[in-house]
Amino acid sequence: MLICSRLQQLDLVPVHLSKSEEDFEIDLLLLSDESTHHYVLILNLTKLVCAINQIQYRSQLVICKSCFHICRSGDRLREHQRGCLENKPARVKMPNESAKDLVFKNVQARWFVPLVIYFELESLLQPVQGCERPPETSHSQFLQIHEPCGYALTVVEHSNDNVLFLKQERGPGCLQTFVKDLHILARDFYERKRAHMIFTGRVEEADPENKELCWICEDLFNAEDEIVLDHCHFSNKFLGWSHSQCNLARRTVKFTPVIAHNLQNYDLHHVCLALSHCEDTTTFQVLPSTEEKFQSLTLGVFIKSFTNSRRANVKVYEYLRFIDSLKFMNSSLEKLVRNLPSDKFQLLRNQFKGKTPEQIDLLCTKRFHP
């Protein structure tokens, strides 16, 4: 039987366990670096494992050569190997006392998106006029075309129960208006972010006495910690007190999501046609799925240009990223709305104040257009 082990950072890792059941066994230690490999004969594997794990060696100790688990008797080893030998050789290493707890360190991933744009396109089926081709030839004939007839666009802000922006447009050329609205919103977002880079709210809103817990990592402050004030760069709202390193690690995303349901399979085709008539200064970045379908599309709206200290021309853009909500919630809007509790439609109720509950329920159901 051939037992092969690898030494990694002063710890043994089983590499290969021969399935041969011969009485003659050889234990080998593999020493390797990036270019060379060398095998060393192991005379006493149990003694070696005990020395590496800082365990006092005794002659009655036996070891499982599939996982290097040390047993005190042969009976315990056979009981352990009933389930261990069914798996591939692996080294089970338990954490020590100081590293037994798992801690979430990527705190910037918990940061919310301050703004989200939602939109929906509607189209009409228009007949395509043309000559009928001879039936004896194989061909495809266009009968109808999807012509965009309107859209709805809304902007939602985090921790705001009211819709920040809402617009509906109907008629021919609505997609050109849709693109113009996106450019206007992108420039407005940029100006709002620039205006609130420094917190200008009232000090009493920041609650300077409540400095016990970092709102980002949720750890208690120590006497030597540097405590700073954290705020939203878009709304200028106070978010909480935080460690200086947590505040630097938490970064606002550099784009605003533009979300539509089933965007990849339908709406994005119309959007790409409309974006093809944008200004030359507009940039595009796509994440393709196929030649005709995109996972996402990032629109860069040109804001301004300036010359930096190195005398290089720098262009500033505000980015809007089109993503498909169907990729995250794989169901129809009708089912998603039906499964959502009625108390979650706070934005809808605030937008249509004065409506009866029956009318609100009517807005949450799918109906036929006249």
Residue range 298-318, pLDDT digits in tens: 999 999 888 888 888 888 999
Is residue 150 included in any domain, yes or no?
yes
Is residue 277 included in any domain, yes or no?
yes
List the domain range (segments joined by +) for residue 180: 116-127+144-195+253-327
At residue 259, does pLDDT exceed 80? Answer: yes
At residue 370, does pLDDT exceed 50? Answer: no
Pairing of strands 115-127, 255-260: parallel
Q: Please report, rounded to a whole number, the percentage of residues in the chain having pLDDT higher than 90.
A: 12
At residue 216, does pLDDT exceed 50? Answer: yes
At residue 321, does pLDDT exceed 90? Answer: yes
Average pLDDT estimate for 340-355: 86
At residue 176, does pLDDT exceed 60? Answer: yes
Is residue 365 included in any domain, yes or no?
no
Pairing of strands 12-17, 283-288: unpaired
Average pLDDT estimate for 249-258: 84
Q: Which of 249, 274, 291 is the last residue of a domain?
A: 249
At residue 2, does pLDDT exceed 50? Answer: no
Q: Name the DSSP letter for residue 257.
A: E
Which alpha helices (DSSP H) does 198-332 contain, by range?
244-249, 268-275
Domain identity same for 8 and 65:
yes
Map residue 325 onto helix, strand or coil.
Answer: helix
Domain identity same for 51 and 9:
yes
At residue 9, does pLDDT exceed 70? Answer: no
Domain identity same for 84 and 178:
no
pLDDT at 1: 45
Mean pLDDT of the chain: 82
Task: Give residue-wise pLDDT tens across range 77-131.
Answer: 888 888 888 888 887 777 777 777 777 777 767 677 889 999 999 888 888 877 6
pLDDT at 183: 92
Provide the CA 253 distance to its chain's centre, in angstroms: 11
Domains held by the chain: number: 3
pLDDT at 318: 92
Is residue 231 included in any domain, yes or no?
yes
Domain identity same for 17 and 60:
yes
Burial 80-100 (b: 16+ CB within 10 A, else e): bbeebeeeebebeeeeeeeee
Is residue 341 included in any domain, yes or no?
no
Domain identity same for 53 and 89:
yes
CB 320 within 8 A of CB 186: yes
pLDDT at 369: 52
Is residue 366 included in any domain, yes or no?
no
Domain identity same for 242 and 263:
no
The CATH number that applies at residue 241 is 3.30.40
At residue 223, does pLDDT exceed 80? Answer: yes
Domain identity same for 293 and 244:
no
CB 260 within 8 A of CB 325: yes
pLDDT at 151: 92
pLDDT at 154: 94
Domain identity same for 239 and 215:
yes
Domain identity same for 279 and 181:
yes
Q: How far apart are CA 169 and CA 185, in angstroms?
A: 16
| Of 88-97, 234-243, 327-336, minimum mean pLDDT range | 88-97
Is residue 45 included in any domain, yes or no?
yes
135: Cβ contacts below 8 Å, ≥ 6 apart: none
Domain identity same for 174 and 35:
no
Tokens 């709210």: give the residue. Answer: 201
pTM above 0.95, yes or no: no
| Element (DSSP H or E) covering residue 70 | strand 70-71
Domain identity same for 191 and 226:
no
At 43, the pLDDT band (50, 70, 90 cuts) reads confident
At residue 172, does pLDDT exceed 80? Answer: yes
Domain identity same for 230 and 85:
no
Tokens 């208690």: give the residue. Answer: 220
pLDDT at 187: 93
Q: How far apart are CA 28 and CA 67, in angstroms?
A: 15
Q: How far apart are CA 280 and CA 332, in angstroms?
A: 37
